[in-house]
C-alpha cells in the first residue's frame, strides 16, 4: 500500500529542473519572529512562518517541479520591501530557505552558494523571489 495520496505525485515523478524561480507576494518572517514560546518551556513555529511556508508550497506545487537528488545548489534571494525603513536583510534568510527546502523536499545543507539582495522598494507590496539552481 502506497503512503502517497491519490491526488499527490511521488517526488521522483515530478520533472527535475536545473533552475527554479519562486516568487511570493510577501517577505519571509525575520528570525526574531521564527519561534514563539508556548508557555510551558517549549517553542513552536510562529503563525507568520507557517503562512509563509504555505505561500511557498502553493507556488512550488503549481510548478510541479523538483530538484535532482544529491546535487549541490545555489540560491539567490531578492527581497522587495514595502517601505524604506531600516532593516537587516540577513534576518530573512532562515525562514525563506527553510520554506523552500520544505516545499521541494531537499536538505538545505546542499546549498553551497547564497546571495541575498535588496531588490528595491514597492510601497505596500513586499515580495520575495528565490532562484534555486544546480551548481556544476
Contact at 8 Å (CB) between 81 and 126? Answer: yes
Distances in Å between the Cα of 47 and the Cα atoms of 50, 53, 99 are 5, 10, 13
5, HSE (Cβ side, Cα atoms, 13 Å): 2
The CATH architecture that domain 11-134 belongs to is 2-Layer Sandwich (3.30)
Average pLDDT, the chain: 89
Q: Is residue 10 very low, low, confident or very high in pLDDT (cuts 50, 70, 90)?
A: low
Percent of the chain with pLDDT over 90: 67
> Would you state the pLDDT for residue 34?
86
Distance from C-alpha of 126 to C-alpha of 121, rounded to nearest angstrom: 8
Q: What is the mean pLDDT of residues 88-98?
A: 95
Higher-confidence residue of 38 and 60: namely 60
Domain ranges of the chain: 11-134
Q: Which residues pair with 50 in a beta bridge?
A: none
- Does the pLDDT at position 117 exceed 80? yes
**The length of the chain, given as a count of residues:** 136
* 43-88 pLDDT tens trace: 888 999 999 999 999 999 999 889 988 899 999 999 999 999 998 9
Contact at 8 Å (CB) between 28 and 56? Answer: no
pTM passes above 0.75: yes
Q: Is residue 12 very low, low, confident or very high in pLDDT (cuts 50, 70, 90)?
A: low
Amino acid at each position: 500500500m502506497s503512503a502517497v495520496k491519490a491526488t499527490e505525485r511521488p517526488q521522483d515523478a515530478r520533472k527535475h529542473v536545473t533552475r527554479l524561480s519562486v516568487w511570493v507576494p510577501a517577505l519571509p518572517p525575520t528570525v526574531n519572529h521564527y519561534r514563539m514560546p508556548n508557555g510551558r518551556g517549549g517553542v513552536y513555529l510562529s503563525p507568520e512562518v507557517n503562512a509563509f511556508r504555505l505561500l511557498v508550497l502553493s507556488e512550488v506545487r503549481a510548478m510541479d517541479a523538483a530538484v535532482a537528488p544529491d546535487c549541490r545548489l545555489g540560491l539567490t534571494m531578492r527581497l522587495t520591501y514595502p517601505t524604506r525603513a531600516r532593516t537587516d536583510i540577513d534576518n530573512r534568510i532562515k525562514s525563506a530557505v527553510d520554506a523552500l527546502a520544505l516545499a521541494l523536499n531537499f536538505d538545505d545543507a546542499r546549498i553551497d552558494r547564497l546571495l541575498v539582495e535588496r531588490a528595491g522598494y514597492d510601497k505596500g507590496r513586499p515580495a520575495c523571489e528565490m532562484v534555486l539552481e544546480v551548481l556544476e
